[in-house]
Amino acid sequence: MAAIKACNILITGANRGLGLEMVRQLVEIPYPNRQIFACCRDPDGPKSKDLKDLAKKHPNVVKLIRLDVANANSIKEAAKKVGSLLGKNGLNLLVNNAGITAHGNMLTTSAEDMHSVFNTNVMGPFTVIKEFIPYLRTAAKASGTPGMSCNKAAIINISTILASMTCVGEIYPHWTAFSYNVSKAALNMMTVLAGMDFKPEEILVMSLHPGWVQTDLGGEGAMIGVKESVEGMLRVISGLTEKQQGAYMDYTGKTLPW
């Protein structure tokens, strides 16, 4: 099991798929006073039942937070709520996991799909980072140790190999999600630039591809299950240092070509 020693962790889109499995595995890793802010847009809806049950089982660790990444006000409200629960302690690890896709190539993708996918996959992480950066700064300052790590202050953007200009040629003809690929390529650029912006403050930023995973988004025919993907991602996250600032990696720890 990965030795994640981040005290305070926030995950968006935590009610199902990879986000939910991340919360599930993190609660099994004991750490004193850990808080996991499990964010989802509809905590009372049927799609959040499993997360709600998990939060009930671990009330001191799992904090359910309403957060719609496509809505700036919702992100602001969530930041206020999380801030009040963090107190003087900062946020050590922020996982921008929530994401959506839409089917279609350049010609069949509508402007509405393009807006909606960009709003969730690009504007979402952008606004989340802006609202939560004060807490990551607090954690970076409080750590008292030099260098970068997920235990100190880190932002993980869940990306995809489909954002790789080098690799996408082999996949795109079989999995046509034009808006998704373009949005995740923008997310990767955000990783690189935010990595430069936050380097002086020793806040780590990187993009992580979870593999092709059996979730609602990945489909039943995907190559791996959520357990394997999240085990791999947590192992990678736990080993990150300043050497991986602005990196693009997959769940096995391999660096991906841009």
Smallest distance, Å, CB 23 to ligand NDP?
A: 11
d(CA 69, CA 41): 8
Smallest distance, Å, CB 203 to ligand NDP?
A: 21
Q: Which is nearer to ligand NDP, 90 or 211 (CB)?
A: 211
Contacts of residue 121, defined as CB under 8 A and 6 or more positions apart, other chains included, come to: 99, 100, 180, 183, 184, 186, 187
Q: Which is nearer to ligand NDP, 145 or 255 (CB)?
A: 255
Contact residues: ligand NDP, CB under 6 A: 12-13, 15-19, 40-42, 47, 68-70, 97-100, 120, 158, 160, 209-210, 212-213, 215-218, 222
What DSSP letter does each residue of 123-182 carry, written as one string? IHHHHHHHHHHHHHHHHHHHH--SS--TTTSEEEEE--GGG-TTTHHHHTTTS-BHHHHH
Smallest distance, Å, CB 159 to ligand NDP?
A: 7
In the block, which residue shows the tokens 């809806």? 45
CA dist 186 to 175, 195, 217, Å?
19, 14, 19
Q: Which is nearer to ligand NDP, 136 or 177 (CB)?
A: 177
Residue 225 CB burial class (10 angstroms; 0-12, 13-18, ≥19): middle
* Torsion of the alpha carbons at 116, 117, 123 and 125, rounded to the nearest 10: 140
Smallest distance, Å, CB 174 to ligand NDP?
A: 13
Smallest distance, Å, CB 229 to ligand NDP?
A: 8
Smallest distance, Å, CB 134 to ligand NDP?
A: 21
Smallest distance, Å, CB 96 to ligand NDP?
A: 8
d(CA 38, CA 258): 30
Q: Which is nearer to ligand NDP, 45 or 147 (CB)?
A: 45
CB contact at 8 A, 117 and 179: yes
Q: Which is nearer to ligand NDP, 96 or 138 (CB)?
A: 96
Q: Which is nearer to ligand NDP, 98 or 122 (CB)?
A: 98
CB atoms < 10 A from the CB of 242, how many? 12
Q: Which is nearer to ligand NDP, 12 or 138 (CB)?
A: 12
